[in-house]
Structure 1
Amino acid sequence: MASSPTAISALNFTNPILPRRPSSPSMLIPRAMAKELYFNRDGSTTRKLQAGVDMVAELVGVTLGPKGRNVVLQNKYGPPKIVNDGETVLKEIIAAGMNPVQVARGIEKTANALVSELKLISREVEDHEIAHVAAVSAGNDYSVGNMIADALRQVGRKGVVTIEKGKCTENNLQIVEGMQFDRGYLSPYFVTDRQKMTVEFHNCKLLLVDRKITNPKEMFGILDSAVKEKYPIVIVAEGIEKEALAPVIRNKLRGVLKAAAIKAPAFGERKSHYLDDIAILTGGTVIRDEMGLSLEKAGKEALGSASKVVITKDSTLIVTDGSTHEFVEKRVSQLQELVKNSEEKFQKKLLSERIARLSGGIAILQVGAQTQVELKDKQLRIEDALNATKAAIEEGVVVGGGCTLLRLSTMVDGIKQHLDNEEQKIGAEIFKRALSYPARLIAKNAGVNGNLVIEKVLSNDDIRYGYNAARDCYEDLVKAGIIDPSKVVRCCLEHAASVAKTFLTSDAVVVDIKELEPIPRRPPMPPIPRRPSMPTSGINPIGF
């Protein structure tokens, strides 16, 4: 006979101390890993750092451009081969006795100046270009580009777009009702997916409380129902004291309760409006003492419902089944009337935000594939394309194909005139050489001489003119749909400068010594016992 689920109130719910997790024997006695030190007196630090930089550049470089090749990543048993086929500019500089701090400062100043120039040549992305940005980031896959563009067309440029595993072999776009806000889980103990560090519940309930929860006993009734009826519950409140949160965490860790807690978005009056909107969307009731509804007396009927809730450390996504669509439309109409009658700009802005939040919807990109390997690859490509699209909407776009960096390299000579000394100018020259590298690699991967491509592109003053590696021709890259998000290019400039500065000013390296574990020998097979011989009867056996 199946046992009935244990009520949460029957457990040790009032003890605020979390249980200690049992430690494995290996965790009880930590083993210190030996360290190896490299100092730069003999140039060993520079050589080892340079080897790492060359390895990463070689691996990433072969994937660049429309004709870039795939890289198979090995998880174990040795790193990829390191190829050192370029000149080591930084090694020559340090060997020449120059001040690496001044060289690094020159790199930093050049990067800052180029970021300012980049902002001047950036422009806002147009609707018809969103598909191009997404497709280029997805490896020139225009089926992905068009799907993302269609999703943003339906939910708006600032709408919520998520990615999940599909139920068939083809990609699919689904628009559902829901909302997203910038509040994450209150404790990592609530995480259900350790790899992604997210909480994900299906067919769950939401408890909405417009005040701080201080006493765990107030939640007895609500959490009791969740345990008995086996549904996940998300607590959304102004705040939850540690004494009230600890028992929820403990029972979640014991597997008795599926729960998570988040802080209500916004503050003051905006927080109350946010909770009201979540209640309308999920069909729940906001628990407020001043309205005569206390948390201790609240029942299951006060809870909202969601078909899916995804919580990260920074955000919460609520997806509903559309059953409250009529109520949502009614609330949107009321808010639109308030916008018309309001005279304050700030109040109109807040009301417009609430309308967008309720009526925007959520686009779900369902990724289809025939195998698990193909599914993982397609998910990563779509994630890259979606991130690139968001970046383009945020900061605009520039000409792609490495041509924007190439054009920026022509501005370095003018920047050098404003630097303090020759060592800083050498840092600027290093950055100038690096700016032409992406265009050269794209040409190389397409089987074309990179130096000739760079020379021909720079001979034309039109900033949109460049080399299209996919079609092996020179043309207007903007018309051809080869554009990059300005934010991506800006981050490349800033991060490259940051890494180069760290490289130049590093005088020692401390690394772990890798200990090769012996391969365990398989124990020999035990001898097979002999079967006991049958007693003889004096008659010889019959031969066949």
Structure 2
Amino acid sequence: MSSRYRPSILFQPAAHLHFQRGARRMVAALRPTLGPLPRRVLVMPERGVGHAPELLDSGGLIARRMVQLADARADPGAMYVRHMVWRLHEEVGDGTVTAAVLFEELFDQGLRFVVAGCDPGRLRSQLVAGAELVCAELARQTTPLAGLAQIARAAESVGADTELATLLGEVFDIIGADGQLDIRPYQRPGVSREYVEGMVYAGGVLSRLMYTDAVRQRVELEHAALLLSDLAVDDPRDLVPAMEAALALGMRALVVIVDHLSDAALGLLDVNRRAGTLHTFAVRPPGLAPAEQVAALDDIAILTGGRPLYRTAGASLRAVTAADLGQARRAWADTAHFGLAGGKGDPRALRARIAMLRRAYAATTDAAAQQRLQQRLGRLMGGMATVLVGGATETEIALRKGLAQRTAGTLRGALRTGVLPGGGSALLACRPAMRAARRSSRLRDERAACDIWLHALEAPARAIAVNAGYDPGTATGRYADLPPGHGLEVQSGRILDMARAGILDSAAVMAAAVRTAAHAAALALTINAQVYRAMPETSIEP
């Protein structure tokens, strides 16, 4: 085996020191992006000459681009922080740099106590307990987020882009926490938005013969019945019961949602369309996996009052009756999407489905599952917004689109769980409770954890001030004895009530950052040896 791939081992104190050096390098790359006056990080692509560098202001993306340090002994510490930051980015979308700054302070201060004789295992449990105390204090400070102006201010706290924040404030004031939102690049300067009524799914019309507007490649039907199924239609006679049922209901339009239509079945629909008997269009069930298709058909059925016919249940299209058909005031489709508005389903059943999906969203921590549930909720809420994000260059467009996506995720969480005074002031306001916990404790490890947290709670506010050009010592002095909720407004240099000034943070994001940093730092303090390779296998997946 080549010496480059042969593992080496570091023991204490070298293991902690090299781990600390790597972690600090990673955090140093992320820290400048924190606050309302952030700096960006230039990342050169691995593909070499001829490819434009990236300008990034997202802690998660910056960390993901750093796949290995040249210093093999420091690399494990950097990759440990990278893993923590990327997982938080995947789960929450924001708060990554706050977590990184907290991690560094918790680990650095904790290491001092471990070297002085504290047991790492006991200190770990006390640091995690301290995180729960901080989160309880954050919950006490949380207030609801409501109104266009406040939502826009919360959006601006995520990134210093007033134009984008103002537009997202309007959008989320209209669609709410669960609304359906699509963010797209816009090949011109500025930002814009469009609103679409009803639910929208990916998946276009099955045949160009069905267009009512050949120029726009679009079909629109008013007062349509809907056949909902994942069955394939090979025999055109399978469609006759649904067509007769639609006519019996007095409907002159039918939307056919099936897995497949044969040419003969398409011909039957086209003949009736040309005769003016029944206007139709057909689309496939939304989604790729069978479970996604079932979920989509169930939701459409709730919205429109229909009954889905499933292959797995042994359903037959020959047995369709009027009671099986859904109804909608308007249905449309183009080459890539189809949508419904004004569904005639039972409002009580719709409210029950929305409540069920919200409970499922709250009960899961899986980011992919949350995204699927969010999309279902957005469609059932009855409207969609499209935000078009532009800029002067492709790099600026990509940067602003990423910011818009992070801001949207943060606003959803803030609308659900509330907001905190921003600028690090909410963490500063947790210090009195931490001091009280230290005074009441008789355990050495518990007091040590409180001391560690008292240092860490100042770290995000101090980093924001330093990024804005303030001297670290001056910034720390100004944070000494602030009233609750007050902080340094770095653009004016004044101490303000942050909530009144409109400087807000998402409560959900802040709590996630605190817990993530505490668990990661507390676990890292228990490391006793480090195994590393000079040339480890490279992976972009943390």
TM-score normalised by the chain length of structure 1 = 0.62
| Bigger Rg over Cα | 1
Instruction: Kindly state the Cα deviation for residue 417 of structure 1 after the two structures are TM-superposed.
Output: 4.2
Give deviations 1:365-417, integer Å, cap 9, x for gaps.
11123322111101111112111211211211111111111121232121224
Asked whether the equivalents of residues 303 and 350 of structure 2 are also in contact (C-alpha less than 8 Å), the reply is no
- Match among 299, 324, 327 for residue 274 of structure 1: 299
Q: Which residue of 1 aligns with 2:496?
A: 475
Counterparts of 1:220 and 1:404, CA distance in 2: 53
Asked whether the equivalents of residues 111 and 525 of structure 2 are also in contact (C-alpha less than 8 Å), the reply is no
Q: Per the alignment, do residues 377 and 100 of structure 1 end up closer, same or farther by CA in structure 2, a change over 3 Å counting?
A: same
Q: Per the alignment, do residues 353 and 451 of structure 1 end up closer, same or farther by CA in structure 2, a change over 3 Å counting?
A: same
Q: What count of residue pairs does the alignment treat as equivalent?
A: 405
Asked whether the equivalents of residues 235 and 261 of structure 1 are also in contact (C-alpha less than 8 Å), the reply is no
Asked whether the equivalents of residues 37 and 508 of structure 1 are also in contact (C-alpha less than 8 Å), the reply is no
Counterparts of 1:105 and 1:501, CA distance in 2: 8
Q: Which residue of 1 aligns with 2:34?
A: 64
Alignment RMSD = 4.7
Asked whether the equivalents of residues 203 and 305 of structure 1 are also in contact (C-alpha less than 8 Å), the reply is no
Letter in 1 for 2:382: G
- Match among 49, 63, 88 for residue 19 of structure 2: 49
Instruction: Kindly state the Cα deviation for residue 419 of structure 1 after the two structures are TM-superposed.
Output: 4.7
Instruction: Kindly state the Cα deviation for residue 67 of structure 1 after the two structures are TM-superposed.
Output: 2.1
1:387 is aligned to 2:389: no
Instruction: Kindly state the Cα deviation for residue 364 of structure 1 after the two structures are TM-superposed.
Output: 0.9
Give deviations 1:456-486, integer Å, cap 9, x for gaps.
344342x232211122222222222111111
Higher helix share: 2
Asked whether the equivalents of residues 168 and 369 of structure 1 are also in contact (C-alpha less than 8 Å), the reply is yes
Asked whether the equivalents of residues 279 and 285 of structure 1 are also in contact (C-alpha less than 8 Å), the reply is no
Letter in 1 for 2:33: T
1:34 is aligned to 2:55: no
1:123 is aligned to 2:125: no
- Match among 171, 175, 178 for residue 158 of structure 1: 178
Counterparts of 1:415 and 1:353, CA distance in 2: 39
Q: Which residue of 2 aligns with 1:250?
A: none
Q: Per the alignment, do residues 135 and 351 of structure 1 end up closer, same or farther by CA in structure 2, a change over 3 Å counting?
A: same
Counterparts of 2:429 and 2:443, CA distance in 1: 25
1:186-197 matches, cutoff 5 A: none
Letter in 2 for 1:416: R
Q: Which residue of 2 aligns with 1:97?
A: 117
Using the TM superposition, name which of 380-389 and 92-101 deviates more: 92-101
Q: Which residue of 2 aligns with 1:423?
A: 445
- Match among 503, 511, 524 for residue 503 of structure 1: 524
Letter in 2 for 1:222: H
Give deviations 1:336-385, integer Å, cap 9, x for gaps.
6xx6xxxxxxx684388799955621111111233221111011111121
Counterparts of 1:90 and 1:292, CA distance in 2: 62
Q: Which residue of 1 aligns with 2:390?
A: 368
Q: Per the alignment, do residues 220 and 442 of structure 1 end up closer, same or farther by CA in structure 2, a change over 3 Å counting?
A: closer
Letter in 1 for 2:16: T
Asked whether the equivalents of residues 184 and 389 of structure 2 are also in contact (C-alpha less than 8 Å), the reply is yes
Q: Per the alignment, do residues 491 and 407 of structure 1 end up closer, same or farther by CA in structure 2, a change over 3 Å counting?
A: same
Instruction: Kindly state the Cα deviation for residue 177 of structure 1 after the two structures are TM-superposed.
Output: 3.3
Asked whether the equivalents of residues 98 and 423 of structure 1 are also in contact (C-alpha less than 8 Å), the reply is yes
Q: Per the alignment, do residues 352 and 385 of structure 1 end up closer, same or farther by CA in structure 2, a change over 3 Å counting?
A: closer
Letter in 1 for 2:18: K
1:108 is aligned to 2:108: no
Letter in 2 for 1:98: C
Instruction: Kindly state the Cα deviation for residue 152 of structure 1 after the two structures are TM-superposed.
Output: 1.8
Asked whether the equivalents of residues 429 and 485 of structure 2 are also in contact (C-alpha less than 8 Å), the reply is no
1:28-427 matches, cutoff 5 A: 34=5, 36-39=7-10, 41-76=11-46, 79=69, 88-127=108-147, 128-139=149-160, 141-179=161-199, 201-203=203-205, 222=260, 224=262, 234-235=284-285, 261-264=290-293, 274-277=299-302, 286-287=308-309, 294=316, 306-307=333-334, 320=339, 325=341, 328=342, 331=344, 335=346, 349-350=351-352, 360-417=382-439, 419=441, 421-427=443-449
Using the TM superposition, name which of 432-441 and 350-359 deviates more: 350-359
Counterparts of 2:127 and 2:145, CA distance in 1: 30
Instruction: Kindly state the Cα deviation for residue 156 of structure 1 after the two structures are TM-superposed.
Output: 3.2
Counterparts of 1:175 and 1:497, CA distance in 2: 41
Q: Per the alignment, do residues 32 and 163 of structure 1 end up closer, same or farther by CA in structure 2, a change over 3 Å counting?
A: farther
Instruction: Kindly state the Cα deviation for residue 224 of structure 1 after the two structures are TM-superposed.
Output: 5.0
Q: Per the alignment, do residues 36 and 458 of structure 1 end up closer, same or farther by CA in structure 2, a change over 3 Å counting?
A: same
Asked whether the equivalents of residues 164 and 367 of structure 1 are also in contact (C-alpha less than 8 Å), the reply is yes
Asked whether the equivalents of residues 392 and 486 of structure 1 are also in contact (C-alpha less than 8 Å), the reply is yes
Instruction: Kindly state the Cα deviation for residue 209 of structure 1 after the two structures are TM-superposed.
Output: 5.3
Q: Per the alignment, do residues 285 and 167 of structure 1 end up closer, same or farther by CA in structure 2, a change over 3 Å counting?
A: farther
TM-score normalised by the chain length of structure 2 = 0.63
Counterparts of 1:97 and 1:458, CA distance in 2: 29
Instruction: Kindly state the Cα deviation for residue 296 of structure 1 after the two structures are TM-superposed.
Output: 8.8
Instruction: Kindly state the Cα deviation for residue 180 of structure 1 after the two structures are TM-superposed.
Output: 7.3
Q: Does the residue aligned with 2:43 lie in a helix, a strand or coil?
A: coil
Q: Does the residue aligned with 2:144 lie in a helix, a strand or coil?
A: coil
Q: Which runs of 5+ in 2 are unaligned?
A: 49-67, 79-103, 208-225, 239-256, 268-280, 357-376
Identity %: 19
Q: Which runs of 5+ in 1 are unaligned?
A: 1-30, 182-199, 238-258, 310-317, 340-346, 518-544
Q: Does the residue aligned with 2:487 lie in a helix, a strand or coil?
A: strand
Counterparts of 2:33 and 2:152, CA distance in 1: 21
Q: Which residue of 2 aligns with 1:455?
A: 477
Counterparts of 2:184 and 2:205, CA distance in 1: 16
Q: Does the residue aligned with 1:410 lie in a helix, a strand or coil?
A: helix
Q: Does the residue aligned with 1:411 lie in a helix, a strand or coil?
A: helix
1:14-33 matches, cutoff 5 A: none
Counterparts of 2:427 and 2:227, CA distance in 1: 50
Letter in 2 for 1:104: R
Letter in 2 for 1:56: M
Q: Which residue of 2 aligns with 1:535?
A: none
Asked whether the equivalents of residues 221 and 297 of structure 1 are also in contact (C-alpha less than 8 Å), the reply is no
Q: Which residue of 1 aligns with 2:63?
A: none
Counterparts of 2:38 and 2:459, CA distance in 1: 15
Give deviations 1:83-121, integer Å, cap 9, x for gaps.
9x9994344333333211111111111111111111111
